[in-house]
Amino acid sequence: MFRERRMDQARLGELVRRCWPEAPAGLRFRPIPTGKFNESFWVDTEDKSFVLRIAPPAGTPVLFYERDMMRQEPAIHAIVGERTNVPVARIVGYDFTRTVIDRDFLLMERLPGRAWSEVPWVDTRRVLVQLGAYLAQVHQIRGDRYGYVGPHQPMEPQSSWVDAFGIMWNKLIDDIEATGHYDQQEGAYLRKLFDRHMRLFDRPVPACLLHMDIWHQNILVDERGQVTGIVDWDRALWGDPEIEFAVLDYCGISEEAFWEGYGARRDWSQEAQLRWVFYYLYELQKYIVIRHGRNRNPQAAARYKREALAMARRLLGS
């Protein structure tokens, strides 16, 4: 596992100075234990704190859109920082050349607060109202292309959401088939389900900026329940906000207080409910790949497979 490849303090200091040539002497590093994908460290100086994030090395099992996904973070952070009042960290510097080490890395300022998962006693309603308002601002940021359009280039950007989501759906099935958890027949079944329902996605939806990883660990709060940061924008996507809503459903975020802050009600028509099944499955199925490859737990991957196929057959038909 890549986390076993810990770097010493001198090496970490070299990475920081690559991003921040004026960094003072005496930098102090502490591992951040909550990271699930990148290897991250608190970087402390006498008067400031930063976060050093180091991408996993080549060969780490990843989903198609996770490969080199750190490379889109500088632009996403800049856009969100310029166009909203969402608390997002300023990126100090980055290096994606892989000339210093064989991994991408970046340095960002540390935001105040702690992950919401670490302070569960704060006022849930207050956090959700703020989060809804912030995400509404993010969804007002519009692009001119759909899909994962960043410099990591996991797919060809599309001029319509139906074409983008079709590519995303099929690439995810490709990833699962590569693990061996979907055989050819199961993969074909899921591809045909999308083909049969493609018309549901062929509608004039704007290319909205979507975070796609909003959960308790990526929301920073202080002791009063004030949201002080939203982190981990590397999975950002441009497309239909309904797919973000499905992720919020999966992560237990889309409560009444969230929608109060968001300021709009979601479409829950019959067609929207059918789209929701595909969007929810897009989130659910990724764990087949994650559990099998990164977590080395094929039994857990098999459970996710059974859940996904049962849901597809129950709600979309055979």
Q: Are residues 252 and 170 in the same domain?
A: yes
Q: What is the pLDDT of residue 226?
A: 98
| pLDDT for 318 beyond 70 | no
Residue-wise DSSP of 117-154 = GG-TTS-HHHHHHHHHHHHHHHHT-EESSBB--STT-S
Mention every residue, 6+ apart, whose C-beta is less than 8 A from residue 41.
12, 29, 30, 31, 32, 51, 52, 54
Structural domain of residue 131, as residue ranges?
A: 116-316
Contact 301, 309 (CB under 8 A): no
Structure tokens at 96: 């994606």
Burial of 221-245, coded b for 16+ CB within 10 Å and e otherwise, reads beeebbbebbbbbbbbbbbbbbbbb
How far apart CA 101 and CA 6 sit, in angstroms, is 13
Coil, strand or helix at 197: helix
Per-residue pLDDT of 239-275, as tens digits, reads 999 999 999 999 999 999 999 999 999 999 999 999 9
What's the mean pLDDT in 185-197?
97
Q: Residue 4: what pLDDT?
A: 37
Residues 153 and 204 placed together within one structural domain of the fold: yes
- Residue where a domain terminates, one of 61, 95, 111: 111
From the list 46, 47, 41, the residue with the least C-alpha distance to 19 is: 41
Q: Are 222 and 228 in contact (CB under 8 A)?
A: yes
Q: Tell me the CATH number at 30.
A: 3.30.200.20
What is the model's pLDDT at position 1? 34
Separation CA 40–CA 105 (nearest Å): 9
Q: Quickly state the pLDDT bin for 62 (edges 50, 70, 90).
A: very high
Q: For residue 266, what is the DSSP state?
A: P
- CATH number of the domain at 273, please: 3.90.1200.10
**Same domain membership, residue 173 and residue 252:** yes
Hey, what amino acid is at 252? G
**Residues 58 and 138 placed together within one structural domain of the fold:** no
Q: Tell me the pLDDT band of 6, cut-offs 50, 70 and 90.
A: low
Q: What is the mean pLDDT of residues 99-117?
A: 96
> Are both 192 and 266 inside the same structural domain?
yes
The tally of domains found in the chain comes to 2
Q: What is the pLDDT of residues 164-173, one digit of tens each?
A: 999 999 999 9
Integer Rg of the chain from CA: 20
Q: 149 and 235: one domain?
A: yes
- Residue ending a domain, choose from 84, 111, 138: 111
SS3 (DSSP) at 317: coil
Q: CA distances (Å), 161 to each of 4, 173, 206, in order?
A: 40, 18, 8
Q: Residue 134: pLDDT above 50?
A: yes
pLDDT band at 7 (very low <50, low <70, confident <90, very high): confident
Same domain, 143 and 199: yes
C-alpha to C-alpha distance for 72 and 307, rounded to whole angstroms: 32
Residue 285 and residue 141 in one domain: yes
Residues 151 and 248 in one domain: yes
> How large is the average pLDDT for residues 98-121?
95
The residue out of 111, 127, 147 marking a domain boundary is: 111
Confidence tier at 5 by pLDDT (50, 70, 90): very low
Are residues 156 and 297 located together in one domain of the fold?
Answer: yes
pLDDT (mean) for 26-40 = 89
Same domain flag for 303 and 247: yes
Task: Tell which residue, 265, 267, 261, 248, has the closest CA to residue 134.
Answer: 261
Query: What pTM does this model have?
Result: 0.95
**Residue 292 burial (CB < 10 Å; 0-12/13-18/19+)?**
buried
Q: Are residues 131 and 90 in the same domain?
A: no
